[in-house]
């Protein structure tokens, strides 16, 4: 494989990673240029290319992920967009679920719909749940709506009709009429963007796509042109929220699929490590400046979902954002990052986040004007971060500022000294992340027992050993390049596309002919997108979401290859029953089973990474550089060693308590941890003894 580049444009930093022909990595971080994000990418690429003598013409592939679409939704910087929908359903995206996401707030403000009521138009037409026409498409009324769209100068149009996932004729007809009359207006139809049942989610998804499409299409074209101008002759691909690669053309048509592509890269990064070390059950833990993200990876594949929520307006609370129904790598995100601010609530409880000091003013310890205590400040107070080994350029940590901030906002209100208050902050944030991981596991029907953890992102290695202990996990991997994990993950992603469609049927009246047709159509759709990027051998995975009749939540069931016949229903019911038992512990007898949504994922076959064997601990490395650090295992301050990661060779082992420092992060070892350097530069951390458990019989 030749030289390849991964570019991850985040809210604060743009990360560039170059994979050299020999498989080694070089990386850089530059500030994201919000005016024109391509400038940051180009600058970063020039920087790292020049430093390592890489010529643009030698680059074989550039893979890009970006938060641009997400930010456009959050900041409402999209196109002037109209929604056209079925008469009678003008307000679906405004009335939402009719619920309040926060039960105990009289002054709750619900998210404003992406497209206001005055920009929502209706056309008489109606299709029923079986796809049959109840009211024919009113062409004259449609033309009248198009006149209004022309008059009012909309830049983009979203079309969402009821049950269009079942029968797309009317949506297509409207699009044809619109394109004929207004060829320059972008149009997205829900049956193409997201043919899934549930109108609120589907309409919102098509609105989001139409809304960001002009912006994203022009950005991608600019980027492509600029790269070419700089001598890059290679193709540019985009990573999507499901963790696969798509062509620029697909990305420009369905930009809603680019949402959450950065975090998807992180999960792929962790999945790649899981594959290298043959770990079938892995918890991916990514912690940055404002949030922590946790994902489950099984059989080297991140878990996926068919719908998620972006742009949450209130404390990352479920229901306070916009639902988007597209395949996505599933993860839980909570307001727990290095910059998350600690406070004391009315109950005298320490609370962390969701407010973050961000990079400006940053944690108090950065001495850049921040006065509120953050998680980073607690890490400074506890000796885990230290001015002499903090990697960030241009920042000199101030332990005094950290202590003062902790004292005024937490210590004094609770009558604790600085140190104890810092312990409280660290413990609460660790507990929050632990609880999030547990809840996420329960939501996915998993028991974390026997899982290994992979920690990356600037903040995760500081907290990962504590999480590992709290979750009762036995192994923690801290790979190299933790600060640019997502961008490295981009380079490990296959070409992949998942096509999803709702089609309702029941095992007691199974319509196998129709199901075969749905699956065949989905396979063609997915393969067409993948073929735009690769000629490689392809692998096909098929899934259906099912539930007992009467339930509201479906669980995913993987389908064997091959077409269904008249005997398929029983087999399918058996597979569901087994999956249900795994999820919830017990199955239920004698109930009909409903199938709701079908999906086909087509992906290029990946070259399996070379498997690595763990190295036995060899030479023990110790250090004379020591400093006091709080050790949560003994509950006291201990004399901790300070190792440099670069000083450790494969096989070297070091014992806690201590820290292992590198430019982008610090790995903390408590007194019962050991770290062994592996051949690929990954640190493997385990416990030297069991977590002390009280034996209740002795008590």
Partner 1 sequence: MTAARTTSEVHFQIMWNRLVSVLEEQALTLVRTAFSTSVREAGDLSAGVFDRQGRMVAQAVTGTPGHVNTMAAAVPHFINDIGPERIYEGDVYLTNDPWKGTGHLHDITVTTPIFVNGEVIGFFACTAHVVDIGGRGYGPDAREIYEEGFRIPIMKWIEQGRLNSDLVNLIRNNVREEDQVLGDIHGLAACNETGRRRLLEMLGEFDMTDLDELADFIFDRTSKATMSALAPVQKGVYRNEMEVDGYNETITLAVELTVADDGMHADFTGTSPTSSYGINVPIVYAQAYFTYGMLVALAPELPNNYASLLPFTVSAPAGVILNGEDPDPVSVRHVIGHFVTDLCLGAIAQALPDIVPAEGAGALWNFQASARGADPTEMLPPVELLMFNSGGTGARPSLDGLTATAFPSGVMTMSAEATEQIGPIVIWRKEIRENSGGAGKYRGGLGQVIEIGPADGYQFEFSAMFDRVDNPARGRAGGENGAPGKVYLDDGSPFATKGKQTIPADRRLIMELPGGGGFGDPAERDPEATANDKAQGYVT
Q: Taking CB under 8 A as the criterion, which residues in 345-374 touch partner 1?
A: 345-350
Q: Say how far apart CA 135 and CA 190 lie, in whole Å.
A: 19
Minimum CB distance to partner 1 smaller for 195 or for 480 = 195
Residues whose CB falls within 8 Å of the CB of residue 361, separated by 6 or more in sequence, listed in order: 368, 369, 370, 371
Q: Tokens 């129709």 appear where?
A: 514
Closest CA to 354 of 429, 458, 427: 429
Piece in contact with partner 1 (CB under 8 A), picked from 26-34, 35-43, 222-230, 437-445: 437-445
- Tell me if residue 256 falls in helix, strand or coil: helix
Question: Binding residue for partner 1 (CB under 8 A) from 95, 388, 396, 622?
Answer: 95
Site string for partner 1, 494-513 (x = CB under 8 A): ----------x---------
On the CB side of 502, CA atoms within 13 Å amount to 29
Give yes or no for residue 283 binding partner 1 (CB under 8 A). no
Residues whose CB falls within 8 Å of the CB of residue 390, separated by 6 or more in sequence, listed in order: 396, 397
Question: Binding residue for partner 1 (CB under 8 A) from 19, 171, 192, 199?
Answer: 199
Give, as ranges, the residues between 376 and 415 that touch partner 1 (CB under 8 A). Answer: 414-415
* CB-based contact 488:17 (threshold 8 Å): yes
Give yes or no for residue 584 binding partner 1 (CB under 8 A). yes
Question: Binding residue for partner 1 (CB under 8 A) from 22, 35, 98, 151?
Answer: 98
Taking the complex as a whole, the smallest distance from the CB of residue 86 to partner 1 amounts, in Å, to 10
Minimum CB distance to partner 1 smaller for 70 or for 432 = 432
Give, as ranges, the residues between 598 and 657 that touch partner 1 (CB under 8 A). Answer: 635
Question: Binding residue for partner 1 (CB under 8 A) from 35, 552, 560, 689?
Answer: 552
Piece in contact with partner 1 (CB under 8 A), picked from 3-11, 31-39, 95-103, 369-377: 95-103
Instruction: Supply 475's token pair.
Output: 């192994």
Instruction: Supply 667's token pair.
Output: 């790995």
Give the burial class of 625: count Cβ atoms within 10 A of its Cβ; 0-12 exposed, 13-18 middle, 19 or more buried.
Answer: middle
Give yes or no for residue 128 binding partner 1 (CB under 8 A). yes
Minimum CB distance to partner 1 smaller for 117 or for 230 = 117
Question: Binding residue for partner 1 (CB under 8 A) from 118, 153, 610, 616?
Answer: 118
Give yes or no for residue 553 binding partner 1 (CB under 8 A). yes
Minimum CB distance to partner 1 smaller for 582 or for 647 = 582
Minimum CB distance to partner 1 smaller for 20 or for 344 = 344
What DSSP string describes 392-420?
-TT----HHHHHHHHIIIIIHHHT--HHH
Give yes or no for residue 439 binding partner 1 (CB under 8 A). yes
Q: Which residues of 555-574 are buried (b: 16+ CB within 10 A; e: fewer)?
A: bbbebeeeebeeebbeebbe
Minimum CB distance to partner 1 smaller for 620 or for 636 = 636
**How far are the Cα atoms of 17, 239, 478 from residue 27, in angstroms, in the given order?**
4, 18, 17
Give yes or no for residue 431 binding partner 1 (CB under 8 A). yes
Give yes or no for residue 183 binding partner 1 (CB under 8 A). no
Question: Binding residue for partner 1 (CB under 8 A) from 1, 539, 588, 605?
Answer: 588
Q: Say how far apart CA 362 and CA 37 lie, in whole Å.
A: 23
Minimum CB distance to partner 1 smaller for 63 or for 324 = 324
Give yes or no for residue 318 binding partner 1 (CB under 8 A). no
* CB-based contact 65:9 (threshold 8 Å): yes
Give, as ranges, the residues between 328 and 347 that touch partner 1 (CB under 8 A). Answer: 345-347
Question: Binding residue for partner 1 (CB under 8 A) from 41, 79, 92, 332?
Answer: 92
Give, as ranges, the residues between 140 and 179 that touch partner 1 (CB under 8 A). Answer: 162-163
The secondary structure of residue 509, as a DSSP letter, is: G
Give yes or no for residue 81 binding partner 1 (CB under 8 A). no
Minimum CB distance to partner 1 smaller for 360 or for 581 = 581
Closest CA to 291 of 261, 331, 342, 334: 334
Minimum CB distance to partner 1 smaller for 347 or for 607 = 347
- Mapping DSSP onto H, E and C, the string for 15-34 reads EEEEECCCCCEEEEEEECCC
Taking the complex as a whole, the smallest distance from the CB of residue 423 to partner 1 amounts, in Å, to 6
Q: Say how far apart CA 455 and CA 469 lie, in whole Å.
A: 14
Piece in contact with partner 1 (CB under 8 A), picked from 232-240, 362-370, 476-484, 687-695: 687-695
Cα 558 to chain centroid distance, Å, stands at: 22
What DSSP string describes 260-281?
THHHHHHHHHHHHHHHHTT-SE
In 261-332, which ranges are continuous DSSP H helix? 261-276
Minimum CB distance to partner 1 smaller for 120 or for 175 = 120
Taking the complex as a whole, the smallest distance from the CB of residue 424 to partner 1 amounts, in Å, to 5
Give the burial class of 537: count Cβ atoms within 10 A of its Cβ; 0-12 exposed, 13-18 middle, 19 or more buried.
Answer: exposed
Minimum CB distance to partner 1 smaller for 102 or for 298 = 102
Taking the complex as a whole, the smallest distance from the CB of residue 127 to partner 1 amounts, in Å, to 10
Piece in contact with partner 1 (CB under 8 A), picked from 121-129, 458-466, 522-530, 652-660: 121-129
Q: Say how far apart CA 152 and CA 149 lie, in whole Å.
A: 5
Give yes or no for residue 23 binding partner 1 (CB under 8 A). no
């Amino acid at each position: 494989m030749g030289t390849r580049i991964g570019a991850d444009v985040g809210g604060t930093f743009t990360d560039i990673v170059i994979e050299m022909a020999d498989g080694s990595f070089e990386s850089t971080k530059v500030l994201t240029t919000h005016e024109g994000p391509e400038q940051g990418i180009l600058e970063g690429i020039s920087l790292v290319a020049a430093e390592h003598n890489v010529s643009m013409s030698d680059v074989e592939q550039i893979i890009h992920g970006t938060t641009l679409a997400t930010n456009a939704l959050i900041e409402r910087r999209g196109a002037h967009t109209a929604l056209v929908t079925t008469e009678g359903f003008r307000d679906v995206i405004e009335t939402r679920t009719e619920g309040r996401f926060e039960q105990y707030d009289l002054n709750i403000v619900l998210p404003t719909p992406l497209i206001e009521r005055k920009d929502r138009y209706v056309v008489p037409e109606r299709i029923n749940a079986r796809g049959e026409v109840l009211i024919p498409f009113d062409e004259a009324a449609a033309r009248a709506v198009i006149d209004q769209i022309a008059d009012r100068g909309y830049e983009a149009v979203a079309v969402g009709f009821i049950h269009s996932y079942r029968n797309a004729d009317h949506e297509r007809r409207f699009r044809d009429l619109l394109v004929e009359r207004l060829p320059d207006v972008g149009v997205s139809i829900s049956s193409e963007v997201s043919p899934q049942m549930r109108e609120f989610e589907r309409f919102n998804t098509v609105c989001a796509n139409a809304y960001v499409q002009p912006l994203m299409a022009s950005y991608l074209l600019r980027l492509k042109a600029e790269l070419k101008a700089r001598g890059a002759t290679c193709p540019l691909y985009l990573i999507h929220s499901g963790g696969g690669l798509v062509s620029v053309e697909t990305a420009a048509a369905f930009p809603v699929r680019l949402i959450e592509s950065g975090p998807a890269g992180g999960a792929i990064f962790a999945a790649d490590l899981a594959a290298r070390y043959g770990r079938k059950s892995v918890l991916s833990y990514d912690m940055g400046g404002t949030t922590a993200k946790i994902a489950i990876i099984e059989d080297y594949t991140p878990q996926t979902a068919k719908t998620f929520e972006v742009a949450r307006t209130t404390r990352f609370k479920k229901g306070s954002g916009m639902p988007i129904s597209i395949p996505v790598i599933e993860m839980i995100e909570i307001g727990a990052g290095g910059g998350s601010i600690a406070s004391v609530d009315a109950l005298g409880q320490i609370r962390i986040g969701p407010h973050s000091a961000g990079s400006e003013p940053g944690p108090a310890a950065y001495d850049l004007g921040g006065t509120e205590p953050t998680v980073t400040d607690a890490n400074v107070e506890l000796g885990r971060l230290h001015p002499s080994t903090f990697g960030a350029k241009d920042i000199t940590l101030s332990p005094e500022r950290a202590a003062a901030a902790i004292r005024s906002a937490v210590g004094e209100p609770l009558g604790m000294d600085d140190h104890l208050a810092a312990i409280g902050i660290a413990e609460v944030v660790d507990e929050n992340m632990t609880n999030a991981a547990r809840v996420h596991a329960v939501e996915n029907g998993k028991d974390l027992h026997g899982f290994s953890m992979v920690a990356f992102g600037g903040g995760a290695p500081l907290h990962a050993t504590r999480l590992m202990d709290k979750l009762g996990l036995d192994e923690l991997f801290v790979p190299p390049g933790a600060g640019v994990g997502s961008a490295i993950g981009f380079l490990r992603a296959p070409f992949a596309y998942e096509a999803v469609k709702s089609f309702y049927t029941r095992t007691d009246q199974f319509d196998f002919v129709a199901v075969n047709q749905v699956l065949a159509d989905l396979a063609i759709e997915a393969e067409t997108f993948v073929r735009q990027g690769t000629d490689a051998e392809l692998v096909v995975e098929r899934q259906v979401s099912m539930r007992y009749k009467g339930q509201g939540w479906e669980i995913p069931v993987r389908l064997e290859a091959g077409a269904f016949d008249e005997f398929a229903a029983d087999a399918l019911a058996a597979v569901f029953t087994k999956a249900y038992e795994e999820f919830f512990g017990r199955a239920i007898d004698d109930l009909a089973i409903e199938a709701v949504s079908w999906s086909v994922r087509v992906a290029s076959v990946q070259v399996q990474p070379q498997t690595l064997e763990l190295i036995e601990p060899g030479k023990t490395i110790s250090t004379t550089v020591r400093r006091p650090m709080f050790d949560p295992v003994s509950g006291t301050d201990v004399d901790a060693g300070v190792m440099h990661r670069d000083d450790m060779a494969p096989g070297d082992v070091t014992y806690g308590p201590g820290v292992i420092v590198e430019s982008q992060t610090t790995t903390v070892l408590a007194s019962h941890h050991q770290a062994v350097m592996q051949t690929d530069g990954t640190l493997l951390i385990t416990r030297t003894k069991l977590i002390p458990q009280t034996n209740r019989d002795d008590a």
